Every structure is written in structure tokens, then in C-alpha cells.
């Protein structure tokens, strides 16, 4: 895979580096502006008072989700991202995908990374089939490429296992079915960089196995895969490198077995 | 100020960030008395007199780090990490010599580009062209979804303008019996209504095109202008159906069918371009100011009252001061309504001469499209921010 670049660059230390970086994250900070918009502070009287006194507009609060993260990901890497809830994993993925602009720092990528997450909303009033076409086109595929593959994608998602759901609007789907369809759509294209947000956790054991296999295939297609999950076993199965985020800072970055061991120790000690 | 005077010793300035302003005044006072730099002398004269009380004392200022240069920020602390991947290239400190390249150098070496950066105008247009199939499919999908839950489905695309026209016929034609010096007032009203509705619907769907699809925007990377463009396409399709309905109304109310009707094609084309520009503009504005969604209906209604939909355009010249009438006549919605009326109807009062209407229509379309597109394009990296 490293042979994609003809000349191997040599650095000042004299060492030759053969791996090709696909994603470089440099000192990344992401600050969210969250419009709380609920509770007593959002009452009309309070809003009027704020306008009159020139206070901060709305109930905007800032959340510093990612604080100075730097790392390099290489071609063929499958990197797991772990951390407790709200540690900034999903935000980091979105920033890598270029979907959330960084507050400071830079994310360098070779080509457009694709985020495939359970939060990805397609058009709920459209049928599963139409959503497959739409999703594929939105990823930059041509219509002539998409049409012959629709059946295959629906087959992979397994939404037709209990009757013809593909022709029903997506709002009639269970959350698991919708998540499986989204995964199937995103996995239909070979991506240089694929970002998966807890997708493997959804769906039954059969689907988990299929998707694991697909992730493996995508990796072999010279891509880089990022996998965010709370389920350490799926990371163990799919990734050999793991980054552990805690409150927006990289706590550990290394071989999956070591990082997971340290992480488990951490969660057990903080739990007791 | 006694404490202040005590504090003005050289040592105490160090690490005293809150006193930066005082330092500046202090320094300006020193330099001003020496007459070194003209600019600083000016600053000294502005400084309040009590600031210069320590003029004779020597003040050593801490060296300020230069802007844009970070002082030894560790990009990565070795103790944070248990095991290094064998070949991972991660620099420890930027300023240390003989270290592996910095991350940005490494990125440049392998041709990696900052994610989510804004492409150039030309590249953005090419990118949009590449996504034309997505835009068309998305517009189509939204049309289907529009009436997806209604039992009559897409029949509402025709029924909506018909019902609309029926309501106005009932009120103005049968109940009020208005004519307002126009022979065929029902037809006059309907043309105005249908044409204005086109711009109104494009505006109100475009303003939501980004903010209403934030999930799609955050999930997939595609040129964001695809969404407002698709909304304009969707409303264009709705319009084509309502034009058929409108043609029926025009004929039923007694207007003759003539070759003049062909003028409607370029008029609607110009209006569509104007709508597209307006839609792009509103899409970014609506993504930035969420409350615009609530405000827009009132803005649009005011615009409709100012566009001569419900009354004869002669009212402008009759009731407004001479300086205000030309401004009202330049209203783009009025211009496109007048062009359509001119194409479909005979012997009606016009707000401006025919040629001037075309000129204004073309100018509005060009200005709206160029400015709207540029405005939207400039915001490209921002869409999807929380």
C-alpha cells in the first residue's frame, strides 16, 4: 500500500518512512456554540430583558469539545476511538470529515473523508430505495454507477428481511433498520478515509458480522478507517491502533490491546 | 494611587498581565519625553496625566511573544502516551532543531489539504456541476416528500394553486365585486398572485434549505449550494404546473390566446434566475440567523402588498410622492409580475414602459444571482456548525 508514492521521502534524521499519511490532525480545537433554548432562561421576559440590557444573545453556551488533539493516521490504518460519554470522540470525527469547522488548528486530509454515523439523517418521507440513490449521489457517485447497485445495497442492509421495506418511507423504519441502511449506503463506496460512528453497535449479531467484514474489505481497499464505539470488543476486532480521548484531550494512543487495558482500568477505578 | 506608585518598579511588571494597559501608557510616557517616535509622542499626549507620575523610574518591559508565533507549545506530551507506533511521525516541539518535520510540513509533503476549506469560485461551480444528478434527484425527492403524507399526493401540486385562485375569486370577484378600473380584475389578480407566489415559495423554502437539513449537511460532504439550488428547482417544477392552471384561468376570464403569451417564457426564466440568487442569499442568512424563519412570512407579506398584486399599479403614481413612485416601480417582484401580465393580458395599465421592464428584470436577475451566489459561497466552510 505504501507503494502508492513512487519516491520515498527521507527526513532529516536519515530514517526512511514508508507509510503514507492520509489524515493529519494538528493541534485541533473545536468549540461548540450551543443554543440551550430551554428552561427559565429562555422565557420571553428573560429574552426581552437580555435584549434591553445588551446581555449575551439567547442562551448560548460554549462547549470546548476538543482541546488540542494531534495525531497522524496512515493508509491501511484502522483506528479505534474510545472514551467516556462526552469526551469529544464524535466531534473529532466530524471535524476530520470537515463537517464542523475547527476553532483553531487544522485537519489535513488527502481526499474527502466520509462520515458514516447513526445521526446521519436522510429524507424521512422518501422510500428506502430513493434514499439509497440520494445518499450515493450525495457521496459523489454517478447515477449510472448507483442504479445497478441499489439492490445490492438494500440486500446488504437487510431491511427487506421482514417484508418489502425498501419501498416504504424511512419514517416507518425502526431506528436499527435506518441505521443499518445508512451504514450500507456509506459502505457502498470505497472511501479513502471512512469514519464510522458507533454504527457497528446497531443492528443484530448477523449485521454486526457483515459490517465487520465490510470494514475489513474497505481497509484492504487502501483506506483508513476510524471507528468510534463504546463497545470495546468491536474495536478489538476491527482496529489495531486505538486513540483514547478524555475531556477532549488524547490520553493515550497506541496498540489497541494496551490502550484498551489502560482504559478498562480507568473506567473500573473511576466507577468504584 | 499610592499603591500604583509602589508598584511601578521594574520587577513587579513581570507576570502582571492585568497591567498591560498601564505598561503601554508608561512606555509611551517615557518615549514621548525622549521624543523618539512621533506616533508614541501622540499616544503620550493622550495618556491621562496621573499615568506619567513614574516617568523618572526605569521600567523594564517583559518581552511580548510576537503575534502568530507560538512559544514552545508541546504538540504532544510524551508522558501522555504509553506506546509509540513504530513509524508514527509526531514532532515533540516545533522550535527544536533536528526534529522530524512538523505536522503541517508532513501534510504538505504528501499533498494533504486542510479539510473543509473553501474552494475557489471556479472549482466550486465545477463541483456543483459534478453534483447535478444529486441536485435533480434531491429536488425530485423533496417534491415527492412535500405531499408524501397527504392522501391525494402530488395532485395537490395542481390543487394548491387552484384552491388559492378560488379563494381570491370568492372574495374579490363574488363578495366584494372589485374591479378597481381594470376590466378583467380576477385575471389581473391571479397573474400577480401566481407570479408572486413563485418568488415567495422559493424564498420560504430556501431559507430552511440549510438550517432544516442540518443532519444531511453534517453527515455528508457535498457542495452546500446544492440544497438551495434544489429548492429553486423544486419550486420551478411547482410553478410549471401552476402556470397551466393560470393559463386556464386567463382563458376562462376572457383573455384571447395570442403569440404575446410567448413573452412569458423569458419573463419566467429571468424570474427563476432572480429567485435562485435570492434563495442562495437567504439560505446562508437562514443558516446564520435561525430566527429569520419566524420573521420571513411578515417580510414576504409586506413585500406582496408593495408589489401591486391586490390592486392596480396605477395606485403608485396616483398616491405616492413623485420621488417614491420610481422606487416602487423598481421592485423586482413588481417587475416580473408586470412582465407576466403584459404577456398574458390585453389593455392593462403598466407601471413602466415595456423596454424598461425588461431591462430592470434582466438587471435584477443578474445582480441577485451573482451576489447571492458569492455570498453563499463565502460561507461554505461554516455550514453545519452547531
Residue B216 forms contact with A (CB below 8 Å)? yes
Contacts of B112 in chain A (CB under 8 A): 21-24, 108-110
Residue A205: per-residue pLDDT: 75
Other CB atoms closer than 10 Å to residue A119's CB: what's the count? Answer: 14
The residue ranges of DSSP E strands in A76-207, in sequence order, are 78-82, 104-109, 114-117, 193-197
Contacts of B100 in chain A (CB under 8 A): 11-13
Q: Quick check: helix, strand or coil at residue A81?
A: strand
Same domain, B12 and B89: no
Q: Quick check: helix, strand or coil at residue A34?
A: strand
Q: Cα separation of B384 and A98, whole Å? A: 9
CB contact (8 A) between residue B80 and residue A251? yes
Q: Show the CA angle centred on residue B159, arms to residues B158 and B162, nearest 5°.
A: 95
Residue B67 forms contact with A (CB below 8 Å)? no
Contacts of A5 in chain B (CB under 8 A): 110
Q: In what order do the strands lie in the sheet with A114-117?
A: A114-117, A193-197, A224-228, A78-82, A241-246, A249-255
Same domain, B7 and B146: no
pLDDT in tens, B336-379: 999 999 898 887 777 788 888 999 999 999 999 999 999 999 98
Contacts of A106 in chain B (CB under 8 A): 104, 107, 114
Q: Is residue B264 part of a domain?
A: yes
Confidence label for A4 from pLDDT (cuts 50, 70 and 90): very low
Q: At a CB cut-off of 8 Å and minimum separation 6, what does B132 contact? A: none
Q: Which residue of A has its CA nearest to B101?
A: A11
Q: Cα separation of A139 and A120, whole Å? A: 13
Q: Which residue of B has its CA nearest to A193?
A: B115
Residue A54: per-residue pLDDT: 59
As given in the structure block, the three cell numbers for residue B360 are 430592470
Q: Is residue B116 part of a domain?
A: no
Q: Is residue B111 part of a domain?
A: no
Q: Is residue B229 part of a domain?
A: yes
B260-292 as b/e: b if 16+ CB within 10 A: eeebbeebbebbbbbbbbbbbbbbbbbbeeeeb
Same domain, B99 and B173: no
Domain assignment of residue B83, given as a range: 67-103
Same domain, B89 and B188: no
Is a pLDDT exceeding 80 seen at residue B244? yes
Confidence label for B178 from pLDDT (cuts 50, 70 and 90): low
Q: Is residue B364 part of a domain?
A: yes
Same domain, B175 and B248: yes
The better pLDDT of the pair B30, A25 is held by A25
Q: Which residue of A has its CA nearest to B104?
A: A26
Nearest to B141 among A95, A134, A255 (CB): A134
Residue B84: per-residue pLDDT: 40
Measured in angstroms, the CA of A230 and the nearest CA of chain B are apart by 20
Contacts of B131 in chain A (CB under 8 A): 137-138, 140
Q: Is residue B62 part of a domain?
A: no
The better pLDDT of the pair B90, B113 is held by B113
Q: Is residue B114 part of a domain?
A: no
Delineate the domains of chain A, giving CATH numbers in brackets. 74-271 (3.40.50.300)
CB contact (8 A) between residue A143 and residue B90? no
CB contact (8 A) between residue A262 and residue B149? no
Same domain, B78 and B31: no
Residue B76 forms contact with A (CB below 8 Å)? yes
Same domain, B216 and B243: yes
CB contact (8 A) between residue A138 and residue B134? yes
Among candidate residues B271, B205, B251, B212, the one with its CA nearest the CA of residue B344 = B251
**A65-74, A139-148, A162-171, B81-90: which range is least confident on average?**
B81-90
Taking CB atoms and an 8 Å cut-off, how many pairs form between chains A and B?
Answer: 192
What is the arithmetic mean of pLDDT over B164-185?
74
Is a pLDDT exceeding 60 seen at residue B108? yes
Cβ(B144)–Cβ(B154) below 8 Å: yes
Is a pLDDT exceeding 80 seen at residue A235? yes
Same domain, B14 and B94: no
Residue B84 forms contact with A (CB below 8 Å)? yes
Same domain, B305 and B169: yes
Residue B364: per-residue pLDDT: 95
**A3-7, B101-105, B247-251: which range is least confident on average?**
A3-7
Helix H or strand E segment including A126: none
CB contact (8 A) between residue B216 and residue A33? no
As given in the structure block, the three cell numbers for residue B363 are 438587471
CB contact (8 A) between residue B103 and residue A13? no
As given in the structure block, the three cell numbers for residue A178 are 435506518
Q: Which residue of B has its CA nearest to A145?
A: B133
Question: Does the CA dihedral B248-B251-B256-B260 come out positive or negative?
Answer: negative
CB contact (8 A) between residue A33 and residue B115? no
Same domain, B20 and B160: no
Question: What does DSSP assign to residue A127?
Answer: B
Same domain, B364 and B284: yes
Cα→Cα distances B212→A97, A123, B216, B321, B384, Å:
20, 11, 9, 42, 11
**B141-155, B219-233, B270-284: which range is least confident on average?**
B141-155
Bridge partners (DSSP) of residue A80 are A227, A242
Is a pLDDT exceeding 80 seen at residue A99? no
Q: Is residue B109 part of a domain?
A: no
Nearest to B82 among A108, A134, A254 (CB): A254
Among candidate residues A111, A107, A83, the one with its CA nearest the CA of residue A94 = A107
Same domain, B34 and B160: no
Structural domains in chain B (count)? 3
Amino acid at each position: 500500500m505504501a507503494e502508492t508514492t513512487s519516491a520515498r521521502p527521507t527526513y532529516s534524521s536519515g530514517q526512511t518512512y514508508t507509510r503514507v499519511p492520509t489524515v493529519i490532525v494538528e493541534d485541533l480545537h473545536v468549540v461548540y456554540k450551543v443554543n440551550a433554548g430551554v428552561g427559565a432562561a429562555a422565557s420571553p421576559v428573560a429574552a426581552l430583558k437580555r435584549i434591553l440590557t445588551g446581555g449575551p444573545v439567547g442562551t448560548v453556551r460554549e462547549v470546548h469539545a476538543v482541546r488540542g488533539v494531534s495525531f497522524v493516521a496512515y493508509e491501511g490504518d484502522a483506528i479505534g476511538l474510545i472514551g467516556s460519554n462526552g469526551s469529544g470522540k464524535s466531534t473529532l470525527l466530524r471535524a476530520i470529515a470537515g463537517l464542523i469547522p475547527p476553532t483553531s488548528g487544522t485537519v489535513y486530509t488527502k481526499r474527502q473523508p466520509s462520515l458514516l454515523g447513526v445521526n446521519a439523517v436522510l429524507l424521512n418521507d422518501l422510500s428506502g430505495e430513493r434514499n439509497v440513490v440520494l445518499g450515493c449521489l450525495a457521496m459523489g457517485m454517478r447515477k449510472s454507477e448507483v442504479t445497478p447497485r441499489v439492490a445490492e445495497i438494500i440486500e446488504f442492509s437487510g431491511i427487506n428481511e421482514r417484508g418489502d421495506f425498501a419501498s416504504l418511507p424511512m419514517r416507518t423504519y425502526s431506528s436499527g433498520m435506518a441505521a443499518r441502511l445508512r451504514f450500507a449506503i456509506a459502505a457502498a463506496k470505497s472511501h479513502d478515509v471512512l469514519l464510522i460512528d458507533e454504527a457497528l453497535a446497531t443492528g443484530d449479531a448477523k449485521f454486526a458480522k457483515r459490517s465487520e467484514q465490510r470494514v475489513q474489505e474497505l481497509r484492504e481497499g487502501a483506506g483508513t478507517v476510524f471507528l468510534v464505539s463504546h463497545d470495546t470488543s468491536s474495536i478489538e476486532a476491527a482496529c489495531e491502533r486505538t486513540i483514547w480521548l478524555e475531556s477532549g484531550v488524547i490520553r493515550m494512543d497506541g496498540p489497541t490491546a494496551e490502550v484498551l487495558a489502560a482504559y478498562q482500568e480507568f473506567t473500573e477505578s473511576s466507577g468504584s | 494611587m499610592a499603591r500604583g506608585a509602589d508598584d511601578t518598579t521594574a520587577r513587579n511588571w513581570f507576570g502582571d498581565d492585568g497591567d498591560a494597559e498601564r505598561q503601554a501608557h508608561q512606555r509611551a510616557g517615557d518615549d514621548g519625553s525622549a521624543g523618539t517616535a512621533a506616533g508614541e509622542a501622540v499616544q503620550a499626549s493622550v495618556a491621562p496625566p496621573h499615568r506619567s507620575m513614574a516617568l523618572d523610574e526605569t521600567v523594564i518591559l517583559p518581552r511580548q511573544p510576537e503575534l502568530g508565533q507560538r512559544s514552545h507549545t508541546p504538540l504532544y506530551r510524551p508522558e501522555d502516551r504509553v506506546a509509540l507506533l513504530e513509524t508514527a511521525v509526531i514532532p515533540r516541539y516545533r522550535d527544536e532543531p533536528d526534529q522530524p518535520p512538523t505536522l503541517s510540513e508532513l501534510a504538505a509533503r504528501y499533498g494533504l489539504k486542510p479539510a473543509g476549506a473553501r474552494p475557489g469560485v471556479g472549482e466550486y461551480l465545477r463541483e456543483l456541476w459534478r453534483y447535478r444528478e444529486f441536485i435533480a434527484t434531491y429536488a425530485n425527492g423533496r417534491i415527492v416528500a412535500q405531499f408524501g403524507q397527504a392522501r391525494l399526493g402530488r395532485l395537490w401540486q395542481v390543487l394548491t394553486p387552484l384552491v388559492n385562485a378560488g379563494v381570491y375569486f370568492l372574495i374579490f370577484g363574488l363578495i366584494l365585486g372589485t374591479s378597481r378600473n381594470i376590466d378583467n380584475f380576477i385575471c389581473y389578480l391571479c397573474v400577480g398572485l401566481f407570479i408572486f407566489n413563485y418568488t415567495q415559495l422559493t424564498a420560504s423554502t430556501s431559507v430552511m434549505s440549510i438550517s432544516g437539513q442540518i443532519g444531511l449537511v453534517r453527515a455528508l460532504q457535498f457542495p452546500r449550494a446544492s440544497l438551495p439550488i434544489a429548492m429553486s428547482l423544486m419550486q420551478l417544477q411547482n410553478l410549471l404546473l401552476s402556470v397551466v392552471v393560470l393559463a386556464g384561468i386567463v382563458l376562462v376570464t376572457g383573455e384571447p390566446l395570442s403569440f404575446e403569451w410567448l413573452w412569458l417564457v423569458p419573463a419566467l426564466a429571468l424570474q427563476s434566475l432572480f429567485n435562485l440568487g435570492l434563495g442562495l442569499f437567504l439560505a446562508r442568512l437562514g443558516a446564520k440567523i435561525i430566527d429569520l424563519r419566524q420573521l420571513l412570512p411578515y417580510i414576504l407579506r409586506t413585500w406582496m402588498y408593495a408589489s401591486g398584486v391586490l390592486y392596480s399599479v396605477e395606485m403608485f403614481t396616483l398616491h405616492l410622492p413623485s420621488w417614491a413612485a420610481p422606487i416602487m416601480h423598481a421592485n423586482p417582484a413588481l417587475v416580473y409580475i408586470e412582465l407576466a401580465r403584459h404577456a398574458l393580458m390585453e389593455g392593462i395599465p403598466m407601471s413602466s414602459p415595456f423596454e424598461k421592464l425588461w431591462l430592470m428584470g434582466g438587471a435584477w436577475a443578474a445582480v441577485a444571482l451573482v451576489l447571492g451566489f458569492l455570498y453563499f459561497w463565502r460561507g461554505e466552510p461554516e455550514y453545519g456548525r452547531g
